[in-house]
Amino acid sequence: MIIYGIKNCDTIRKARKWLTAHEIEYEFHDFRTEGINPVQLRAWVAEAGWQKLLNKRSTTWRNLPNETKTEINETLAIFLMEENPTLIKRPVLEMSTGILVGFSENIYTEKLLS
Residues with catalytic roles: 9
DSSP output for the chain: -EEEE-TT-HHHHHHHHHHHHTT---EEEEHHHH---HHHHHHHHHHH-HHHHB-TTSHHHHTS-HHHHHT--HHHHHHHHHH-GGGB-S-EEEETTEEEES--HHHHHHHHH-
